[in-house]
Amino acid sequence: MSLTERDIISRYFNVPELALPRPEIELGPGDDAAVLHVPEGKRLVVSADVLTAGAHFPEDAAAELIANRSLAVNLSDLAAMAAEPLCFTLSLTLPRADAKWLTAFSHGLAELAGEFRCSLIGGDLSRGPLQVAIQVHGLCEAGHELRRKGARPGQKVYVTGWVGDGALGLANLGVAASNIAFNAPIEELPEACRAHFHTAYFRPRPRVGFALAAAPLVSSAIDVSDGLLGDAGHLAAAVGVGMVLYPERFPFSPSVRCCTDLETRIRAALAGGDDYELCFTADPANERELMAIAAGMDLPLTCIGEVIAGEGVRCAGMEIDLYSFDHFGSSTHE
């Protein structure tokens, strides 16, 4: 028996695991639009991303992983703004109605939505090439959101977690730039490393908890979606300052160190993208407290550079012939 649009919505998306109760949601799924209440003293923070099969994930990727990644990259944008996740909408384009696929997709979505108490409040469903479009909504204290604009000369540049894993996760799937490659054929890499790269790509960790705790100590922030070079460059360009990054300080996972040479992993960190860690600036006086917050969450935190007078981003000790990822321009993904 074929599934109708109404069947798909009611069986897989209008379910308790996704329609999570929040006092700010006055009206959720089932009407022409949702109604949200923004509490006094709060601001609504909104972001959206579209993920397309063949560009952002392989067409044969597991549905549960596609769902997890699709929501995670959106939640990462809220983390960069120090906003608490509230709810999201989902617009899904499917080539066919497959009950098994939809069950797995719904489960993957509910797993991450439940962790962050982020409720599905509506969306759209259509037939066509596989595409997932999500818009997330979060809340922050009025005037206390993090922005890209705020870095000042004399401040330090930090990054959470590890870098380079996302780009190498894409390479592990057989899709990567020619200058981002492993030091052995993919099938010869240690199984534990391949598993790590697979998880890093499909299950990035939105750093919401760290961002909310660290926000008062941070002057500017961005999530690392396009590579450190481009994303740190956005922070610098927002206020007309320069930055110096120190590649020898970049935090690399054991799997990255095991499977790549130094030049490759630096390229992956600078221009590969898909890490979804937080890159931010802060006064040196705040470093001890920032490190303590990260340590309390068992989260690596590394000072990778400094803000200087001038313009642009340079890497100490190396010439840069790289581009951060750009969907429509030159990039290391070509």
> How does pLDDT run along the chain (334 residues), one tens digit per residue?
688 999 999 999 999 999 999 999 999 998 999 999 999 999 999 999 999 998 888 889 999 999 999 999 999 999 999 999 999 999 999 999 999 999 999 999 999 999 999 999 999 999 999 999 999 999 999 999 999 999 999 999 999 999 999 999 998 988 755 567 788 889 999 999 999 999 999 999 999 999 999 999 999 999 999 999 999 999 999 999 999 999 999 999 999 999 999 999 999 999 999 999 999 999 999 999 999 999 999 999 999 999 999 999 999 987 655 554 444 444 433 2
d(CA 13, CA 105): 10
pLDDT at 322: 54
d(CA 165, CA 91): 28
Assigned CATH topology for domain 5-141 = 60s Ribosomal Protein L30; Chain: A; (3.30.1330)
119 touches 25 (CB < 8 A): yes
Structural Rg of the chain based on CA atoms: 20
pLDDT at 330: 42
Condensed to tens digits (0 to 9), the pLDDT of residues 283-321 reads 999 999 999 999 999 999 999 999 999 999 999 987 655
pLDDT at 324: 45
pLDDT at 325: 43
d(CA 223, CA 231): 7
pLDDT at 35: 98
CA distances from 253 to 65, 135, 265, 269 (A): 21, 31, 10, 11
- Give the global pTM: 0.92
Task: Of 116, 136, 137, 119, give the one whose Cα is nearest residue 19.
Answer: 119
Condensed to tens digits (0 to 9), the pLDDT of residues 173-191 reads 887 555 677 888 899 999 9
Task: Of 62, 275, 240, 80, give the one whose Cα is nearest residue 165.
Answer: 275
Instruction: Tell me if domain 5-141 and domain 156-315 are identical in fold.
Output: no
Q: What are the domain boundaries of the chain?
A: 5-141, 156-315
CATH class of 156-315: alpha beta
Task: Of 151, 118, 150, 144, give the one whose Cα is nearest residue 47.
Answer: 118
